[in-house]
Every structure is written in C-alpha cells, then in structure tokens.
C-alpha cells in the first residue's frame, strides 16, 4: 500500500484536508480504532514535539470522531481515535470512505511557535556559548532544553533570554528543506544534540534553517518567521548534572 501524503512536513500551515480512509484497525489494549488515510495534515509527534489532536468528519452524514493523537507505523501516519464521539467506534467509516481531516489549529500553531522558540534558543546558545543540546521537550506554549553548561546563573540566563528575544524580533525567515543524507551531513554542526538520533538507514534529511542564525536537522513544524513566535520568557533553570543544565521557557504574545 502506498504511503499517504503527509502534508505536515511540507506545509505546516495546512490544517484541514479532504481524504480517503485506507485502513481501520483496533488498537490492542483499549480496542479503540486507528485510521490511516491517503493524505493528512496531522503531525505524528517526534523530536520532543507532541502529536496533533483534532477530528475526522464524514461529510455524507456528519459523523465526527475525535483524534486524540497520531503516530507513525511503518512510515505511515496513523490517527488514534478516542472511544467517545458522536457515534460508536463500530460505526466507523470503512476503507474507501471520504472524510475531512482537521487538526486543532490553535494548539498546533502554539506548538509551532514553541518549537521555533526552542530552535532560536538552541541557535543562540550554540553561537554564543558553544554548548550542545543534551535533551529537550515541549508542550503548547512551554518547553525546556538541556545544554552542556558547567555553570548556570541568573545573570547568564537573563543574558540568554535577551539575546533570544533580539533574534525573534529580527523577524528571521525560517526555511525547510529535504537534502540527500551525504549532502546534509556535509553541513558543519547540523546535529546539535550530543547524540546523533538519526538512524543510519535514512536516505534524506529534513533541515530547518533560521536564516542568519541556525541550521539543523529537524522533523517538526515551525512558523514562517521568528517574529511570529512572540516573546520568550525564561521561567526557570536548574542543574541536571555536572555539565548538564536545563533552561525552561514559556511563549507569550508580543
């Protein structure tokens, strides 16, 4: 079976699309349905960014199913449906049925802003302090990154926050590209994490560039310019080891 079109990787602003169901399976454990489609706007999660939430709507009768999450399975994006909904799971659309796919756009857009903010943070810390990333995670509007710092202080964190917001205010363009593996790995410092998390079998590498600041391998969704992020506020910092320091941030409207 051909893999469905995965629009999240080519157009992060696409939040609704018409699609056709290609398969329906029942998940082990809770018995809830999982649905594959010939095209989707859902992001399946990865790289610290949570999967999208949203709905599937069957136009012919208005039946609606809540998509609580999504994940990748053998390269396919699979939509995990909640057991609750307007009709029972047993009445789910069969393969071949048409549906409208819609993500929770305000949540996705906030995740896009958050993800881009973390890349700006990473770019500033790498450029100005030479520290690699040792971990990270995010939720809508907040995130954290761990860096190889021996020491962390309020003064240093304040300086980093100011530099991050200066880069955001510069309205730097964000570009996404897909490169052959050899070409991608010829780019200096493409991998900012302490451990290279890209499996050796991947032939193409997706890159995200904040023009003039940062270029790294990444599979997530981002806003078009840094100005769209808003304002970054550092909400805390802590030591996670001798040379491992955590910075927590929140996103606010400008």
* Domains detected in the chain: 5-103 (2.40.30.130), 108-252 (3.30.980.10)
For residue 63, name the pLDDT band (cuts at 50, 70, 90): confident
What pLDDT sits at residue 3? 79
Buried b or exposed e, range 187-202, using 16+ CB within 10 angstroms: eeebbbbeeeebeeee
Query: What does the block give as tokens for 160?
Result: 């980093």
What pLDDT sits at residue 196? 54
What is the rounded CA–CA span in Å between residue 42 and residue 101? 8
pLDDT digit string (tens) for 155-200? Answer: 999 999 999 999 999 999 999 999 888 888 788 777 666 555 556 6
Choice between 186 and 236, residue whose per-residue pLDDT is larger: 236
Q: How many residues does the chain have?
A: 254
Mean pLDDT of 210-221: 94
- List Cβ<8 Å contacts ≥24 apart for 227-230: 227/168, 227/169, 227/170, 227/171, 227/254, 228/113, 228/116, 229/113, 229/116, 229/117, 229/120, 229/168, 230/113, 230/168, 230/254
For residue 2, name the pLDDT band (cuts at 50, 70, 90): low
The dihedral formed by the CA atoms of 174, 176, 180 and 186, expressed in degrees to the nearest 10 = 10
Examine the pLDDT at 205 and tell me if it is beyond 90: no
Choice between 155 and 241, residue whose per-residue pLDDT is larger: 155
Q: Which of 54-63, 84-93, 186-195, 234-243 has the lowest mean pLDDT?
A: 84-93
- Mean pLDDT, the chain, whole residue set: 90
| Three-class DSSP labels, 31-48 | CCEEEEECEECCCCCECC
Gap between the terminal Cα atoms of the chain? 46
What pLDDT sits at residue 192? 62
Q: What is the pTM of this model?
A: 0.92
| C-alpha torsion sign, points 207, 210, 214, 218 | negative
What pLDDT sits at residue 251? 98
Choice between 34 and 3, residue whose per-residue pLDDT is larger: 34
Mean pLDDT of 104-130: 97
Output phi, psi for 72, to 5 deg.
-95, 140
Q: What angle do CA 143, 226, 16 make, to 5 degrees?
A: 80
What is the rounded CA–CA span in Å between residue 33 and residue 163? 46
For residue 95, name the pLDDT band (cuts at 50, 70, 90): confident
Strands 39-40, 5-6: pairing is parallel
Query: What does the block give as tokens for 45?
Result: 């999660």
Mean pLDDT of 222-236: 98
Strands 63-73, 54-58: pairing is antiparallel
Burial of 74 (0-12, 13-18, 19+ CB in 10 A): exposed
- Percentage above 90 pLDDT, the chain: 70
For residue 91, name the pLDDT band (cuts at 50, 70, 90): low
* Helical segments of the chain, H only: 105-129, 154-169, 181-185
For residue 89, name the pLDDT band (cuts at 50, 70, 90): very low
Examine the pLDDT at 79 and tell me if it is beyond 90: yes
Do residues 205 and 184 lie in contact, with contact meaning Cβ atoms separated by under 8 Å?
A: yes
């Amino acid at each position: 079976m051909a893999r469905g079109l995965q629009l999240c990787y080519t157009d992060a602003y696409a939040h609704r699309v018409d699609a056709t169901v290609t398969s329906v399976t029942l998940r082990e454990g809770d018995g809830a349905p999982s649905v594959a489609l010939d095209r989707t706007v859902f992001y399946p999660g990865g790289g610290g960014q949570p999967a999208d939430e949203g709905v599937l709507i069957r136009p012919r009768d208005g039946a609606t199913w809540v998509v609580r999450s999504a994940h990748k399975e053998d390269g396919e994006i699979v939509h995990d449906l909640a057991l609750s909904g307007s009709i029972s799971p047993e009445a789910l659309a069969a393969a071949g049925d048409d549906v409208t796919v819609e993500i929770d756009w305000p949540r996705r857009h906030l995740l896009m802003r958050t993800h881009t903010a973390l890349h700006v943070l990473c770019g500033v810390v790498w450029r100005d302090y030479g520290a690699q990333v040792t971990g990270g995670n995010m939720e809508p509007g907040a995130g954290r990154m761990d860096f190889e710092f021996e020491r962390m202080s309020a003064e240093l964190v304040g300086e980093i926050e100011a530099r991050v917001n200066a880069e955001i205010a510069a309205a730097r363009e964000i570009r996404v590209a897909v490169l052959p593996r050899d070409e991608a790995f010829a780019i200096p410092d493409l991998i900012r994490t302490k451990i290279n998390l890209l499996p050796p079998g991947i032939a193409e590498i997706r890159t995200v560039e904040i023009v003039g600041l940062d270029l790294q391998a990444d599979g997530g969704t981002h806003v078009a310019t840094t100005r769209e992020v808003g304002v970054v506020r550092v909400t805390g910092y802590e030591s996670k080891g001798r040379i491992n320091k955590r910075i927590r941030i929140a996103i606010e409207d400008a």
